[in-house]
Amino acid sequence: MPPHETGRLRDGAAGAEMHPCGACTIRPLTVCAALEAEELRRLADILQTQRFEAGQTLFSEGDPADILYNVTSGTVKLYKLMPDGRRQITGFLLPGDFVGLSVDDTYAYTAEAVTQSMLCRFPRRKMEALLEEFPKMQRRLFSMASNELAAAQDQMLLLGRKTAKEKICSFLHLLSQRAARRGHKENPVHVPMSRADIADYLGLTTETVSRTFTQLKTARVISLLEGNKVQITDMDQLLDIAEGA
Amino acid sequence: MPPHETGRLRDGAAGAEMHPCGACTIRPLTVCAALEAEELRRLADILQTQRFEAGQTLFSEGDPADILYNVTSGTVKLYKLMPDGRRQITGFLLPGDFVGLSVDDTYAYTAEAVTQSMLCRFPRRKMEALLEEFPKMQRRLFSMASNELAAAQDQMLLLGRKTAKEKICSFLHLLSQRAARRGHKENPVHVPMSRADIADYLGLTTETVSRTFTQLKTARVISLLEGNKVQITDMDQLLDIAEGA
DNA sequence: CGATATCTTGAGGAATCTCAATACTAGTGG
DNA sequence: CCACTAGTATTGAGATTCCTCAAGATATCG
């Protein structure tokens, strides 16, 4: 990561200062969408921005869930661990994604920055109070949770029933779609996570991920570019493989 | 399917009559929890009860999502299909569980009764209107969705990283827990679904499910009882295996 | 009581994993 | 600017879990 990519949301020394949500480029994607200027101001009052370096942990499974986060730049992974170290990544967060909701006041998973990332940080209690006040925001959050639930079901189908090749193609397609939704080019897909992360997301090993990339490269479905980019050479075939057709 | 199993919506001539939500035993578990008498009445106004026989489909993936359901008795499975017939069951619904929320106005999965089941049926539009009016209900629904999201993440860990034995033990433990939450005995666990359903829920084949049950029986962790019941002989060991310890 | 579906068991095979070596990449210090 | 080091990715060979195919046993339902 080049040193100049410090990201947006700079301004301010201590990393804890009022933020101009009005200038936030990914707001339409997130929980703050559709808030009025006044409401945004109220939100900004309880929020701090915070930067995390690649590999840094936001919180760990079992920690008291006192803080909610909203990603504004970078990539964050969520994972669960088994006692013997087996790991399942349950999701990658991109700008606009929200994290930290919990059922029993402790986090159910660990969150760790994949790349340098900027996040908005909300104390849970203050956030809850604000949600009471702004039903619009409550509904938006609910709608985001519904989306996540649908995505989780897709991921179950992937984990339970797809082959390695289908998994990788589904993964690349997902990244492509998510990039597009964020206004980026959908085709050379940026894949900032390591083979190990991909493996732990897809229920595979790094070796199988690597071999499958090679296979897809040989089959001229993709080609690997500089800078963690993957060019999808044959999008139709990629999709067909992903869906098991 | 036997010919007499046509009937849903009996009771009352038109199948659409006031339902005594006040008498509903599983209300505390569901979205109707914590509603006042007046609110319950309003809810009852828009609801119909409907019976489904084992094997009957509530709705199919892709159908317009016009109806929401709440299970009051029986078991319902949700699943997604791949073009070649591979199937992933994403959840089993028990009394108190809610189903039908959708992202894009079509159902993202098929819902089918595993056993004879009773459900409350809500037209989505009327339900949404009611949710506007009763923020308490909105919050309750959000909290249920959060719970489901956490469960979905557990299921991803299971599907992606657990062995067949661990999967079966996790499954039995889950059923046991859910029965307990509903006020039933947690130990002889009722397992109303077929081996094929269990397989499609855990990302296995029926043969592997069967063999694993036999293994656990031989290891004296469980024993199979009459009437689709499984006695957990050694709960501690079951849990240890389930968690991969 | 017979028919049909479901479940169990067996034998062999395939996808993926494990272990191990090599290649690559990026950052570090000379 | 280049060698060096540490981490990451790729490739290979063999092992293992789970799947596939097939037969037999059991349960269910009319």
Given a cut of 90, is residue A217 above it in pLDDT?
yes
Bridge-based pairing of strands B57-59 and A229-232 is unpaired
Chain B residues with CB under 8 Å of A164 CB are none
Residues B36 and B96 in one domain: yes
Check residue A1 and give its pLDDT. 36
Convert the pLDDT of each residue in A4-24 to its tens digit. 333 344 443 334 445 678 889
Give the distance, in angstroms, between the CA of residue A161 and the centroid of all CA atoms in the same chain.
23
pLDDT of residue A19: 60
Give the residue from chain B lying closest to A136, CA to CA: B132
- Interchain pair B152, A157: CB under 8 A: no
Q: Are A157 and B156 in contact (CB under 8 A)?
A: no
Residue B11 has pLDDT above 70, yes or no: no
Per-chain mean pLDDT for chain B: 91
- Write down the pLDDT at residue A22: 84
Distance from B222 to chain A by nearest Cα, in Å? 23
State both tokens at B128. 């949404």
Instruction: Please tell me whether residues A52 and A95 are part of one structural domain.
Output: yes
Q: Specify whether the CB–CB gap between B64 and B118 falls below 8 A.
A: no
Does pLDDT of B64 surpass 80? yes
**Identity of the residue numbered A96:** G
A72 and A153 belong to one structural domain = yes
Which helix (H) or strand (E) segment is A177 a member of? helix A164-181
Looking at the fold, whether A12 and A92 belong to one and the same domain comes out as yes
First to last CA, chain B: 44
A67 vs A227, residue with greater confidence:
A67
What CATH number is attached to the domain comprising A86? 2.60.120.10
Stretch A65-87: mean pLDDT, rounded?
A: 97
* A195-214 confidence digits (pLDDT tens): 999 999 999 999 999 999 99
B170 with B131, same domain?
no
Residues B16 and B129 in one domain: yes
Measured CA to C1', what is the nucleotide nearest A203? Answer: C16
In percent, the amount of chain A with pLDDT more than 70 equals: 92
**Testing the interface with A: which of B101, B109, B127, B159 to mutate, by most A Cβ within 10 A?**
B159
Same domain, B40 and B136: yes
- Considering chain B, what percentage of its residues have pLDDT values greater than 90? 85
Let me know whether A14 and A113 are in one domain. yes
Mark which of A137, A157, A177 sits at the end of a domain. Answer: A157
Q: What is the 3-state secondary structure (H, E, C) of A50-88?
A: EEECCCCEEECCCCECCEEEEEEECCEEEEEECCCCCEE
Better pLDDT: A46 or A7: A46
d(CA B103, CA B139): 18
**Among B133, B157, B181, where does a domain finish?**
B157
- Partner-chain contact B82 A155, CB within 8 Å: no
pLDDT surpassing 70 at residue A49:
yes
Judge if B80 and B129 occupy the same domain: yes
CATH of the domain at A192: 1.10.10.10
Query: B190 has which bridge partners?
Result: B229
Contact A21, A38 (CB under 8 A): no
- A126 with A208, same domain? no
Looking at the fold, whether B51 and B144 belong to one and the same domain comes out as yes
Q: Which domain holds residue A62?
A: 5-157
Q: Judge whether residue A160 has pLDDT over 60.
A: yes
Q: Give tens-digit pLDDT for B172-228.
A: 999 999 999 999 999 999 999 999 999 999 999 999 999 999 999 999 999 999 999
Query: Contact B109/A153, CB-based, under 8 Å?
Result: yes
Residue A224, CA: closest nucleotide via C1'? D9
Record: contact B90-A150, CB cut-off 8 A: no
Single out the residue in B124, B157, B190 at which a domain terminates: B157
Could you tell me what percent of chain A has a pLDDT over 90?
A: 85
Q: What is the pLDDT of residues A96-109, one digit of tens each?
A: 999 999 989 999 99
Mean pLDDT for all residues in chain A: 91
Label residue B19 by pLDDT band (50, 70, 90): low
Alpha-carbon distances, residue A103 vs A143, A147, A191 (angstroms): 17, 18, 31
Provide the domain count of chain A: 2
